[in-house]
Structure 1
Amino acid sequence: MTDVDLDNHRAHADVTDELVDDVRSGLTAERKWLPPKWFYDAEGSALFERITALPEYYPTRSEREVLAARAADVARITGAHTLVELGSGSSEKTRLLLDALTGHGTLEEFVPLDVSESALAEATAAISADYPKLEVRGVVGDFTQHLDRLPGGQPRVVAFLGGTIGNFLPAERAAFLRSVREVLEEGEWLLLGTDLVKDVGMLERAYDDSAGVTAAFNRNVLRVINTRLGADFDPDAFEHVAHWDAANEWVEMRLRARLRQTVEIPGAGLTVEFAEGEHIRTEVSAKFRPGGVEAELGAAGFGLERWWTDSQQRFGVSLARSVRG
Structure 2
Amino acid sequence: MVSQKGLALVDRDEDGVDRAFRNDVLEGLRQPQKAVPARWFYDDRGSQLFEDITRQPEYYPTRAETEILRERCGEFAELIGPGRAVVEFGSGSSVKTPVLLGCIDPSAYVPLDIAGDFLRQSVADLSAKFPDLPVHPVEADFMRETALPDEVADLPKLGFFPGSTIGNMVARTAVDLLRSMRATLGHDSHDGAMLLIGMDLVKDRAVLESAYDDAAGVTAAFNLNLAERINRELGGTIPLDRLRHQARWMDDYSRIEMHLVATQDIAFQVSGESFAMSAGESIHTENSHKFSRRSAFTLLLAGGWTPVRRWTDGEDRFSLILARAATPRNAP
Query: If the TM-score is normalised by the length of the shorter chain, which range does it land in?
Result: over 0.9
Whether 2:155 is the aligned partner of 1:166: answer no
Q: Check conservation: 2:35, 2:284, Cα contact below 8 A.
A: yes
Secondary structure of 1:218's partner?
A: helix
**Structure 2 partner of 1:7:** 7
Q: Aligned partners of 1:126 and 1:211: how far apart in 2?
A: 27
Q: Residue 72 and residue 88 in structure 1: after superposition, are their counterparts in 2 closer, same or farther (change >3 A)?
A: farther
Matched with 1:81 is 84
Q: How much has 1:98 moved relative to structure 2?
A: 0.9
Provide, for residues 99-150 of structure 1, a one-character-per-residue CA deviation record: whole Å limited to 9, x for no partner. Answer: 1122xxxx21000111111111001112222212110011111111243346
Contact 1:89–1:114 (CA under 8 A) maintained in structure 2: no
SS in 1 for 2:7: strand
Question: In the alignment, what sits opposite 2:102?
Answer: 99
Q: Name the structure 2 match of 1:278.
A: 281
* 1:257-304 Cα shifts (integer Å, max 9, x gaps): 011111122x2x311111111111000000000111112212222211
Query: Is 2:228 the counterpart of 1:226?
Result: no
Percent of aligned pairs with the same amino acid: 39
CA separation of 1:89 and 1:132: change in aligned 2, threshold 3 A: closer
User: Does 2:119 match 1:116?
Assistant: no
Amino acid of the structure 1 residue aligned with 2:126: I
Match of 1:297 in 2: 300
Residues 1:145 and 1:115: Cα distance change in structure 2 (over 3 Å): same
- Give me the whole-angstrom Cα distance separating, in 2, the residues matched to 1:216 and 1:61: 21
For 1:85 and 1:321, locate their aligned partners in 2 and report how far apart those are by CA, in whole Å: 16
Write the distance in 2 (CA, Å) between the matches of 1:213 and 1:236: 16
The aligned counterpart of 1:182 is 183
What's the counterpart of residue 207 of structure 1?
212
State whether residues 80 and 104 of structure 2, in contact with CA within 8 Å, keep that contact through their aligned partners in structure 1: no
Paired with 2:254 and 2:94, the residues of 1 have a C-alpha distance of 28
Q: CA RMSD in A?
A: 1.7
Residues 3 and 185 of structure 1: is their aligned pair in 2 closer, same or farther, counting only changes over 3 Å?
closer
2:155 is equivalent to residue 154 of structure 1: yes
Q: How many residues of Structure 1 are paired with residues of Structure 2 in the alignment? A: 318
- Between the aligned partners of 1:89 and 1:9, the Cα distance in structure 2 is 19
- Give the TM-score normalised by structure 2: 0.91
Q: CA deviation at 1:91?
A: 4.5
Distance 1:288 1:150 in 2: 33
Counterpart for residue 62 of structure 1: 64
Q: Residues 90 and 119 of structure 1 are in contact (CA less than 8 Å); yes or no, is this contact kept in structure 2?
A: no
1:43 aligns with 45
Change in Cα spacing, 1:157 to 1:89, as seen in structure 2 (3 Å) is: closer
CA distance in 2, matches of 1:142, 1:69: 32
- How much has 1:189 moved relative to structure 2? 0.2
Deviates more, 1:290-299 or 1:149-158: 149-158
Identify the range of structure 1 (2-11 vs 211-220) with the bigger mean alpha-carbon deviation.
Answer: 2-11
Q: Of residues 318, 323, 326 in structure 2, which corresponds to 1:320?
A: 323
Amino acid at match of 1:138: P
**AA in 2 matched with 1:302:** W
Task: Give CA deviations for 1:147-174 in whole Å, capped at 9, x if unaligned.
Answer: 3346524211000110100011111011
Query: Aligned partners of 1:150, 1:312: CA distance in 2, in Å?
Result: 39
Measured after TM superposition, the shift of residue 15 of structure 1 is 5.0
Question: Amino acid of the residue matched to residue 162 of structure 1?
Answer: G
Bigger shift: residues 128-137 or 151-160: 151-160
User: Residues of 2 paired with 1:161 and 1:36: CA distance?
Assistant: 16
| Displacement of 1:175 | 1.1
Q: Does the 8 A contact of 2:66 with 2:95 survive in 1?
A: no
Q: 1:4 to 1:126 in 2, by over 3 A?
A: farther
Report the 3-state secondary structure (helix = DSSP H, G, I; strand = E; otherwise coil) of the residue aligned with 1:112: strand
Please report how far the alpha carbon of residue 39 of structure 1 lies from its aligned counterpart in structure 2 after TM superposition.
1.3
How far did 1:72 drift?
Answer: 3.0
**TM-superposed deviation, 1:89:** 4.7
What CA distance in whole angstroms lies between the structure 1 residues aligned with 2:127 and 2:111?
Answer: 12
* d(CA) in 2 for partners of 1:178, 1:128: 30
